Chain A
Amino acid sequence: MSEKGMFGVSGTGDTSGYGGLVRASADPTSAQRPYGSYFDDVADALERAYPKFSDAIERVVVDRGELTLHVKAERLVEVAKVLRDDETLRFEVCLGVSGVHYPESVGSELHALYPLLSMTHNRRIRLEVSVPDSNPHIPSLVEIWAGNNWHERETYDMFGIIFDGHPALTRILMPDDWPGHPQRKDYPLGGIPIEYIGATVPAPDERRSYQ
């Protein structure tokens, strides 16, 4: 007779209580003016310096004291140049690229985020660009902020976003011939089951708490 006990997966392994319910979260609507603190100054200065502002910026999100500008991929380079060069904006430092993969928002699955810092005015904002899985191309910002070189390579390596115009877009963290892009949500965690005396415990992404 074999005892199964309370350990191990049976069924879907869902312990959340929602039974596999998937709620599509509503896209946050653009924040309304006034945004608060220095965000209004930034938005005004950007509008003044870049007349096609409303064409390029899809959405403005003000959340938890941070301003995020959702920019269209084609206009990214122009907006970035204005943000860096205009006297009242002067976001000289770009703190890298962060990628996020949202598999449920079909049509804009891959997001790239650029936190910007202005040392002159002591301000921070964020640029966010979304591209679909079918055409994951974003123009490269290496010519504007040279520090983005490695960050864009890392985002390419981990998510598969291709940065057009990057001088040498190759893998940086994984071995050069690694297949797949590890930090995407459809890439498994890749662990192995752990052997204990008398039982094996599956890898973290296949594991469950208890029945």
Chain B
Amino acid sequence: MSTFASARETTEGRIYSVTGGDWDDVTNEIGSAKEERVVVNMGPQHPSTHGVLRLMLELEGETITELRCGIGYLHTGIEKNTEYRTWTQGVTFVTRMDYLSPLYNETTYCLAVEKLLGITEEVPERASVIRVLMMELNRISSHMVALGTGALELGAMAPMFFAFRERERVLDIFEMVSGLRMNMAYVRPGGVAQDLPEDSISKIRELVVDLRKNFRDNERLLVGNSIWIKRTKDVGYLDLAGCITLGVTGPVLRATGMPWDLRKTQPYCGYEDYNFDVITTDTCDVYGRFLIRMQELEQSLRIIEQACDKLERLNGAPVMVADKKIAWPAQLALGGDGLGNSLDHIRQIMGTSMESLIHHFKIVTEGFRVPAGQVYTPIESPRGELGAHIVSDGGTRPYRVHFRSPSFSNLQATSAMCEGSLIADVVAAVASIDPVMGDVDR
């Protein structure tokens, strides 16, 4: 028996494990089997599935008769971990769920905590505008990864280089504002961790101009490209009824023609004051979702410009809630020995004000207390509706944090989209759903 391909009998039939060797040997053995179904495993390690996703395909020739998704390969137990940390420390855990759009996770969590605290109205306007600005920048970087990796999985390599080039520019802004490129823990309950540095607005405005020009590169490559259209038109079809019953939201839902975007229908963080359009197409296929993502980039740029205008008007306003019993007390600055509390802040807590010292100490070590109750706060992430269901028992730690992640719900639709189509279409369909496995498995 060869050490490469082995076969064994199970209750489900014969299973062939192919780990190298000659494919002809395997097909000869299968050809002599009585049953026609072949179940192929596109395993967790695969270049074309978006991360650690396992697709089990039942094939008849090249057509798929049944498709199941195996998930859980990235289950991290983040929700249980937050029960052992304070409310503010929860932000650092939650930010690593959907690692392509970390600011959305943070904002959902913080909006939910603020709702529980009852301070939604007292979050300063500058903090809300900064949140909107950072979220829209994150939407751009997330869509860039979606476009780049989607194109790569279908065989086009150049869009990936263009997309990551733009993403690097956006990540530079993130680094300037929050200190980190990814998983920043920048949005905290009550506001944001620290204000924007001095010249960030001008840098962001420059970036917007450059991005507008550079998005044309990808557009010229893919929109209207006949090969791209052949691979993506009428592939991964999921109509409105299917989307609604499966709970699918985001670009997949908007590709059916339904203009459902939580930023317009149930606005949060001041989104009702911004001018932007909700992009829809009505083809319900991969090409439609791709066009939506490309056009949402332009809408995000519009929102960013408006947010920059607002920030210039709100210069000097606070970025944390005024209530000292909740506000994150640290003021960080870069000193001789690295990043730490600014000397002003240390002078204040050690020299002048006893309350500041006590607040700093209690809030950083123990955390603030959140009154008992439960809330569900949804926002529109680049993938769909991201909701945080948070239960508090009145203490300094969450009692239960559950995230309704868009990727988890959207990924269920893969079976409906792909059964009856070819294997190559599965790759396109999964890329168009744009699942992030950290979000799926949490």
- Contact partner of A173 (CB less than 8 A), chosen from B75, B366, B399, is B75
Interfacial chain B residues near A101, Cβ < 8 Å: 400
Interfacial chain B residues near A92, Cβ < 8 Å: 244-245
> Whole-angstrom distance from the CB of A27 to the nearest CB of chain B?
12
Whether A45 is near chain B, meaning CB under 8 Å from some CB there, is no
Q: Contact: A25 with B72, CB < 8 Å?
A: no
Q: Given A66-B375, A113-B389, A209-B365, are A183 and B80 neighbors across the interface (CB < 8 Å)? A: yes
Q: Contact: B378 with A95, CB < 8 Å?
A: yes
**Chain A 126-146 against B: per-residue CB contact (8 Å), 1 yes, 0 no?**
100000000000000000011
CA of A113 to CA of B266, assembled, Å:
21
Q: Contact: B412 with A149, CB < 8 Å?
A: yes
Whether A189 is near chain B, meaning CB under 8 Å from some CB there, is yes
CA of A133 to CA of B277, assembled, Å:
49
Q: Contact: B81 with A95, CB < 8 Å?
A: no
Q: Contact: B75 with A174, CB < 8 Å?
A: yes
> Whole-angstrom distance from the CB of B69 to the nearest CB of chain A?
9
- Contact partner of A25 (CB less than 8 A), chosen from B258, B385, B393, is B393
Q: Contact: B373 with A63, CB < 8 Å?
A: yes
Interfacial chain A residues near B375, Cβ < 8 Å: 64, 66
Q: Contact: A119 with B244, CB < 8 Å?
A: yes
Q: Which of B17-25, B319-327, B340-348, B401-409 lies on the face that meets chain A? A: B401-409
Whether A161 is near chain B, meaning CB under 8 Å from some CB there, is no
CA of A154 to CA of B412, assembled, Å:
13
Closest to A100 in B: B400
**Chain B 61-88 against A: per-residue CB contact (8 Å), 1 yes, 0 no?**
0000000000110010101110011000
Q: Given A96-B404, A183-B80, are A115 and B376 neighbors across the interface (CB < 8 Å)? A: yes
Interfacial chain B residues near A190, Cβ < 8 Å: 77
Interfacial chain A residues near B358, Cβ < 8 Å: none
> Whole-angstrom distance from the CB of B268 to the nearest CB of chain A?
12
CA of A160 to CA of B245, assembled, Å:
25
Q: Contact: A204 with B385, CB < 8 Å?
A: no
CA of A189 to CA of B82, assembled, Å:
11
Interfacial chain B residues near A119, Cβ < 8 Å: 244, 258, 260, 265
Q: Contact: B441 with A204, CB < 8 Å?
A: no
Q: In residues 81-114 of chain A, which contact B (Cβ within 8 Å)?
A: 92-96, 98-101, 113
Interfacial chain A residues near B400, Cβ < 8 Å: 98, 100-101
Q: Contact: A147 with B84, CB < 8 Å?
A: no
CA of A209 to CA of B362, assembled, Å:
12
CA of A113 to CA of B258, assembled, Å:
27
Interfacial chain A residues near B333, Cβ < 8 Å: none
> Whole-angstrom distance from the CB of A101 to the nearest CB of chain B?
8
- Contact partner of A64 (CB less than 8 A), chosen from B71, B79, B116, is B116
Q: Contact: A175 with B372, CB < 8 Å?
A: no
Closest to A96 in B: B404
Whether A205 is near chain B, meaning CB under 8 Å from some CB there, is yes
Whether A182 is near chain B, meaning CB under 8 Å from some CB there, is yes
Which A residues are closer than 8 A to B by beta carbons?
Answer: 15-16, 25, 63-66, 68, 92-96, 98-101, 113, 115, 119, 122, 124, 126, 145-151, 154, 171-175, 182-183, 189-190, 204-205, 209
Which B residues are closer than 8 A to A by beta carbons?
Answer: 71-72, 75, 77, 79-81, 84-85, 115-116, 118, 244-249, 258, 260, 265-266, 365-366, 372-376, 378, 385, 387, 389, 391, 393-395, 399-400, 402, 404, 408-409, 411-412, 441-442
Q: List 23 A-B contacts (CB under 8 A).
A: A25-B372, A25-B393, A63-B374, A65-B115, A66-B376, A92-B245, A95-B247, A95-B378, A95-B387, A98-B389, A98-B400, A100-B391, A113-B389, A119-B265, A122-B266, A124-B378, A145-B245, A146-B245, A150-B412, A182-B77, A183-B77, A189-B80, A204-B81
